[in-house]
Amino acid sequence: MPDAQHSKLLGDLFAIYPKSEEFVIALAGNPNVGKSTIFNSLTGLKQHTGNWPGKTVDNAQGRFVFKNENFLLVDLPGTYSILTHSMEEEVARDFLCFGRPDVTIIVLDATCLERNLNLVLQVMEITPNVVVCINLMDEARKKNIRINFSSLEKDLGVSVVPTTARQGIGLVLLKENIFQVAKGLTTPAPVKVNYSKEIEEAVNHLLPKIEQLGIGRVFDPRWVALRLLDGDNRLLEKIAFYLTSSPGSDFLAKAEGIAL
């Protein structure tokens, strides 16, 4: 649940306005997998739509209550990758990285899991608090595609929920899983991608320095190391901005003298 400072940041950067005692839930996934259908089913008429600040990309936020807990659901634009190529992808990426939602639901198309799982691995590097939702199960059934959910859960290390959102099937189970992760009743243990020896060595070289900077309180240190290796300057500048602009930050003082 965001504290007052984080809530202010969500308002300033993303025009997302959680009330007190409200969990923030992000809805991510490839384009056209049924995110907005799920969003509409869960939030009904309790929605507000506008634009992401400074962007011509739609921003939809809506509310629901489950087991006496309040949730603010944010419908993100469709994205294939966290390594962004479009304005939509940048909005989704920035919200997942800097909005730091309590839970991120990643919606997948059951008929093309392989392509969709790439995003799951990328998001799980940012945050462990993930629930995977496999939607369009009716289409998969028509195509005789069978999915072994328990094996997929074991492989990914997070909960996997089947849904047919257009018919409202599976949405209570989805809410139960969101509730479990938000309340800390389930602790997801996402599998991490192992990269080539060279990359892993470079990550291990960077990790102690990143930890010295105290970044681990805000971002996953391994994720920061991988982004440093990517060398995406736009993202690195945003990470630095985020770290230096939070009140009371001693990031710059710590950064003095540490050569990456």
Ligand X SMILES: Nc1nc2c(ncn2[C@@H]2O[C@H](COP(=O)(O)OP(=O)(O)OP(=O)(O)O)[C@@H](O)[C@H]2O)c(=O)[nH]1
Contact by Cβ (8 Å): 78, 30: yes
Nearest distance from residue 28's CB to Mg ion, in Å?
Answer: 11
Our CA angle for 149, 155, 181, nearest 5°, is 75
Distance CA 241, CA 209 (A): 18
Exactly one of 2, 7, 37, 43 binds ligand X (CB under 6 A); which one? 37
Q: Between residue 139 and residue 178, which ones bind ligand X under the rule CB under 6 A? A: 139, 164-166
In the bound state with ligand X, the residue whose beta carbon lies nearer, of 137 and 243, is 137
**36 belongs to the binding site for Mg ion (CB under 5 A):** yes
Exactly one of 135, 159, 220, 221 binds ligand X (CB under 6 A); which one? 135
CA distances from 66 to 104, 105, 134, 161, 175 (A): 16, 16, 21, 17, 7
Contact by Cβ (8 Å): 36, 75: yes
Q: Which does 84 bind (CB under 5 to 8 A by kind): ligand X, Mg ion, none?
A: none
Residue 102 token pair: 């309590």
Q: Look at residue 150 and give its three-state secondary structure.
A: helix
Counting residues that bind ligand X (by CB under 6 A) gives 16
Q: Look at residue 209 and give its three-state secondary structure.
A: helix
**136 belongs to the binding site for ligand X (CB under 6 A):** yes
In the bound state with Mg ion, the residue whose beta carbon lies nearer, of 171 and 243, is 171
Our CA angle for 82, 85, 91, nearest 5°, is 60
Q: Which does 153 bind (CB under 5 to 8 A by kind): ligand X, Mg ion, none?
A: none
Which range of residues in 29-37, 113-121, 123-131, 221-229 is near Mg ion by CB under 5 A?
29-37
Q: Which does 104 bind (CB under 5 to 8 A by kind): ligand X, Mg ion, none?
A: none
Q: Which does 166 bind (CB under 5 to 8 A by kind): Mg ion, ligand X, none?
A: ligand X
Q: Which does 32 bind (CB under 5 to 8 A by kind): Mg ion, ligand X, none?
A: ligand X
Burial of 112 (0-12, 13-18, 19+ CB in 10 A): middle
| Site residues (vs ligand X, CB under 6 A) | 29, 31-37, 78, 135-136, 138-139, 164-166
